[in-house]
């Protein structure tokens, strides 16, 4: 297992998105946050803009939907060409059915949990999801401090994935930087969303390499 880095373009310059997408060419994915100002108190991008991002991005696009009507909209992002589509467990009425629809549309299907949401309801359903995203900050805004209390959840999820032999990735999003990436990797994550840490660096691609190296070292120690 190797670490995958998915920089969040929430920290990019929205007036120069194509330029800033090409500043993360060494990333594994580009993480695109879609917010509706209902599920979270912020408003970002919608389907037409994300579709264009997918067309010009130098790496596959990892869409994170922080929206209320996930059952209605998630599959549309898969049809638009997203490599991975994440919806929130708290916003889906039929999570397994939705995940299967996303897969049928050609994307990886992922389910996300807010920091206070328990992971236990998902543990018997892990084969239905290609990835589980554990939010390590409250969703809605970039630049927040990492919540240490999410680490036990990541550990329980990793134990269940390993016990079942499931091919389910574990992603973390929020407060990921050089000071935290090894900690969450040791806890069990293998996909890391980093926004301000990457785009706030003088050389985003060099920062991606540094984060990946630190995470790989921690994964090897598990």
13 is catalytic: no
**Which one from 36, 62, 130, 173 is the annotated catalytic residue?**
173
For residue 12, what are its two tokens? 């990019």
Residue 221 CB-density burial (10 A; 0-12 exposed, 13-18 middle, 19+ buried): exposed
Report the C-alpha gap between 98 and 67 in whole angstroms: 14
Secondary-structure percent of the chain, ordered helix, strand, coil, rounded to 5? 45, 20, 35
The pairs formed by 133-136 with CB atoms below 8 angstroms and a separation of 24 or more are 133/64, 133/86, 133/171, 133/172, 133/173, 134/170, 134/171, 134/172, 134/173, 134/189, 135/172, 135/173, 135/174, 136/172, 136/173, 136/174, 136/175, 136/176, 136/184
- Tell me which DSSP letter residue 36 carries: B
Sign of CA dihedral 169, 201, 211, 145: negative
Question: Has 62 been annotated as catalytic?
Answer: no
Annotated catalytic residue: which of 20, 28, 33, 62? 33
List residues with catalytic annotation: 33, 173
């Amino acid at each position: 297992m190797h670490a995958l880095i998915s920089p969040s373009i929430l920290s990019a310059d929205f007036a120069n998105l194509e330029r800033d997408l090409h500043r993360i060419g060494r990333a594994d994915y580009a993480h695109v946050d879609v917010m509706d100002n209902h599920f979270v108190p912020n408003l970002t991008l919608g389907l037409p803009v994300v579709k264009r991002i997918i067309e010009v991005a130098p790496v596959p696009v990892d869409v994170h939907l922080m929206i209320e009507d996930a059952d209605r909209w998630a599959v549309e992002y898969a049809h638009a060409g997203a490599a991975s589509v994440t919806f929130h467990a708290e916003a889906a009425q039929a999570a397994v059915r939705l995940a299967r629809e996303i897969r049928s549309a050609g994307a990886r299907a992922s389910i996300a949990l807010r920091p206070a949401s328990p992971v236990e309801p998902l543990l018997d359903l892990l084969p239905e999801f290609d990835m589980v995203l554990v939010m390590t900050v409250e969703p809605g805004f970039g630049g927040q401090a990492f919540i240490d209390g999410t680490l036990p959840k990541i550990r329980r999820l990793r134990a269940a994935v390993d016990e079942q032999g499931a091919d389910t990735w574990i992603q973390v999003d929020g407060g990921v930087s050089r000071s935290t990436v090894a900690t969450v990797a040791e806890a069990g994550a293998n996909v890391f969303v980093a926004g301000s840490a990457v785009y706030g660096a003088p050389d985003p691609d060099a920062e991606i390499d540094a984060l990946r190296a630190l995470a790989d070292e921690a994964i090897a120690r598990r």
